[in-house]
Chain A
Amino acid sequence: MAFLEISHLDKSFGANRVVKDFNLSVEQGEFVSLLGPSGCGKTTVLRMVAGFETPSSGNIAIDGRDVVNLRPNQRNIGMVFQAYALFPNLTVAQNVAFGLKVAGRAKAETAARVTEMLALIGLPDLADRYPFQLSGGQQQRVALARALAVQPHLLLLDEPLSALDAKIRASLRTEIREIQQRLGITTVFVTHDQEEALSMSDRIVVMNGGMADQIGTPFEIYNRPRTRFVAGFVGTLSRFEAVVKDPAKGAVSLGKQTITLDQQIDAAAGARVTLALRPEAAHLGRFNGCDVILPGKIAEVHFMGSVIRIKADVDGQLMSLDTFNRAETPPPRIGTEVEISLAARDFIVLSA
């Protein structure tokens, strides 16, 4: 039995079914992200785990104990909110000490723990400041320290980085992950930012319309998306319509070419399937280890610094491809005829 076990969770607000048969097992010490577009029910799942919403049906067990009927203040769960939610009338130290005080810990122990937590988040000098005297990033760190101070079983974070600007977001991302690993605390992290989810998580749950579309490691989710939704939502993809020739051998015809994929296809011969390709799997020119060469014409060039994202017109369909920037070779010009090489095994066949 996993540390956090969510089974057949359902939640409706009136006639609006927001979470549908949601299942998830999180192991002790694991960092799991709920990733999905706005309104897909991520926050609702998290709030049910925290106890702020009651499930319409289903079970939530933490460390083998059913918590559905426990009140939020009995669940021993640390929670970090998008809006920081620091207590404005308390100093940083008092904020961090709040949970310990409520739990009736001794003064000396509380003080020691506060010092330890402030050191952990790298803000040992701000103990006497009030929340309004802190930057957003500092406030969110204090909120994290406050949640961790009581040594909760489980840490829940609901889009904690969304209100911050890009630079701080990136650095805080690493910091949160480091702290989580150092403490070994089981964590569920809600985000709609795929980059965040991919870079921080042990596993990702991609949610769509209240359901878990796919659960897997970032590597699996990115490289082997199981549904059209996951493929479209996580990372960039080029899609191609192809016709199945021989499902057992994995042969399809794409434009004028026939390509043999290294997998069987779950469709009848003559059926249309959608193939998807990550931009980094396609290369300009001839490239070692590539067994497919397609002619194309450069349609768009986006210079993004270390990476140049090119869109090429291949048989009337746009294909994205990424190349690394090199100082000695300028990016290709729009309208240039090029050859694009890729490996057939990199194609992803989208089922649903």
Chain B
Amino acid sequence: MIRIWSWGALIIGMIYFILPLVGMTEFSLSMRRGEYSFDAYAVVLSDSQFQATFSYSVIMALFTIVFGVLLVVPTAYWVRLRMPELRPYVEFITLLPLVIPAIVVVFGYIRLYNTSSWLPMTGTALGTNILLMFGYATLSLPYMYRAVDTGLRAVDVGTLTEAAQSLGASWVTILARIILPNVLAAVLSGAFLTFAIVMGEFTMAALLDRPAFGPYMQLLGANRAYEPSALAVIAFAITWACMGLIQLVTRFTKHTRAQT
């Protein structure tokens, strides 16, 4: 009896998630009347706006990942090594972006860094890009920090550090050659999540007026019929590819370690 119910619940859940997806995909394929075609995709992909915003967001995502890794790995490492009593507080801080809406953060940025402030970062495109990257890093902080911290839990950070120190290694060497490689799988899974977040982010990019992929999706959605569905499917595919890569990387690193 219970089995039937749980199967039922599972099927209803799947329908709930999959049906809209199927509908959307079906719609995105029906631009040409009476037959399925990839016309909508062709239009989207050949749109120069699409190419520009997409590559802008990819580059932003890469910078955000690098910045996030440089910020989070040493912090999480140091907290584990030297200030374990601060761990709950640091964890709380990293969770804040989940409860503070992005719009609040970005208004804070604009207030603090507008052209008449002490540090007018919004005055130049580069400054605004940097600001946006900080914003993205904040948004991805909860995922990045948790991933790295979980990765660090699996290694004996204290003893490995001491072993490396007694062999003459400096902090930078220890981080780069011992700590980072040992949490690489965790870092990569954090990185893919960051990538997915940055590719889909709308609020910050729109309010800072940067030509990112999120605002482009919104713009297209407001003005076209079939293309937005195609775009949504593409965005979905990116997110899912990221998730798949997380799985793959986790398996891949274990695999190479087990194989050699």
User: Which A positions have Cβ atoms within 8 angstroms of B?
Assistant: 50-52, 71-79, 81, 83, 85-89, 91, 98-99, 102-103, 128-130, 132, 143, 146-147, 150
User: Closest residue of chain B to A149, judged by CB?
Assistant: B167
Rounded to whole Å, the gap between the CB of A98 and the closest CB of chain B is 6
Q: Which are the 8 A-B pairs with shortest beta-carbon distances? A: A99-B167, A89-B181, A79-B166, A85-B163, A72-B165, A85-B159, A102-B168, A73-B165
Rounded to whole Å, the gap between the CB of A20 and the closest CB of chain B is 24
Contact B167 A102 (CB under 8 A): yes
Chain B residues lying within 8 Å of A83, measured Cβ to Cβ, are: 156, 159
Contact (A79, B162) CB under 8 Å given A103-B168, A130-B260? yes
- A123 CA to B58 CA in the complex, in Å? 48
- A89 CA to B36 CA in the complex, in Å? 50
- A89 CA to B168 CA in the complex, in Å? 18
Contact B182 A88 (CB under 8 A): yes
Contact (A147, B164) CB under 8 Å given A81-B159, A91-B260? no
Contact A89 B182 (CB under 8 A): yes
Could you list 8 A-B pairs, sorted by A, with CB under 8 Å? A52-B162, A71-B165, A73-B165, A79-B166, A83-B159, A102-B167, A102-B170, A150-B167
Chain B residues lying within 8 Å of A76, measured Cβ to Cβ, are: 168
Chain A residues lying within 8 Å of B155, measured Cβ to Cβ, are: 88
Contact A87 B163 (CB under 8 A): yes
Interface of A is mostly: loop
Chain A residues lying within 8 Å of B160, measured Cβ to Cβ, are: 85, 87
Size class of the B contact interface (CB-based, 8 Å): 20 to 34
User: Closest residue of chain B to A132, judged by CB?
Assistant: B257
Interface string of B219-260 (1 = CB under 8 A from A): 000000000000000000000000000000000000001001
Rounded to whole Å, the gap between the CB of A189 and the closest CB of chain B is 15
Given contacts A76-B168, A79-B163, A87-B182, 18 further A-B contacts (CB under 8 A): A52-B162, A73-B166, A73-B169, A79-B166, A81-B159, A81-B162, A81-B163, A85-B162, A86-B163, A87-B160, A87-B163, A87-B178, A88-B257, A98-B164, A98-B167, A99-B169, A102-B170, A150-B168
| B173 close to A (CB within 8 Å) | yes
Chain B residues lying within 8 Å of A150, measured Cβ to Cβ, are: 167-168
Rounded to whole Å, the gap between the CB of A185 and the closest CB of chain B is 14
User: Closest residue of chain A to B162, judged by CB?
Assistant: A52
User: Closest residue of chain A to B256, judged by CB?
Assistant: A130
Chain B residues lying within 8 Å of A89, measured Cβ to Cβ, are: 178, 181-182, 184
User: Closest residue of chain B to A87, judged by CB?
Assistant: B178
Which one of A77, A128, A143 has the highest number of Cβ atoms from chain B below 10 Å of its Cβ?
A: A77
- A129 CA to B259 CA in the complex, in Å? 10
Chain B residues lying within 8 Å of A74, measured Cβ to Cβ, are: 168
- A239 CA to B156 CA in the complex, in Å? 45
- A86 CA to B156 CA in the complex, in Å? 10
Contact A50 B260 (CB under 8 A): no
- A99 CA to B257 CA in the complex, in Å? 22
Chain B residues lying within 8 Å of A72, measured Cβ to Cβ, are: 162, 165-166
Chain B residues lying within 8 Å of A86, measured Cβ to Cβ, are: 163
- A8 CA to B93 CA in the complex, in Å? 45
- A129 CA to B178 CA in the complex, in Å? 17
Chain A residues lying within 8 Å of B184, measured Cβ to Cβ, are: 89
Chain B residues lying within 8 Å of A132, measured Cβ to Cβ, are: 257
Contact (A146, B260) CB under 8 Å given A52-B162, A72-B162, A85-B156? no
Contact A102 B169 (CB under 8 A): yes
Rounded to whole Å, the gap between the CB of A24 and the closest CB of chain B is 20
Chain A residues lying within 8 Å of B169, measured Cβ to Cβ, are: 73, 98-99, 102
- A91 CA to B260 CA in the complex, in Å? 9
Contact B168 A73 (CB under 8 A): yes
Chain A residues lying within 8 Å of B257, measured Cβ to Cβ, are: 88, 130, 132
- Select A99's contact among B156, B168, B181, B260, beta carbons within 8 Å: B168
Which one of A52, A74, A143 has the highest number of Cβ atoms from chain B below 10 Å of its Cβ?
A: A52
- A81 CA to B181 CA in the complex, in Å? 21
Contact (A77, B260) CB under 8 Å given A83-B156, A85-B159? no
- A89 CA to B169 CA in the complex, in Å? 16
Which one of B164, B168, B170 has the highest number of Cβ atoms from chain A below 10 Å of its Cβ?
A: B168
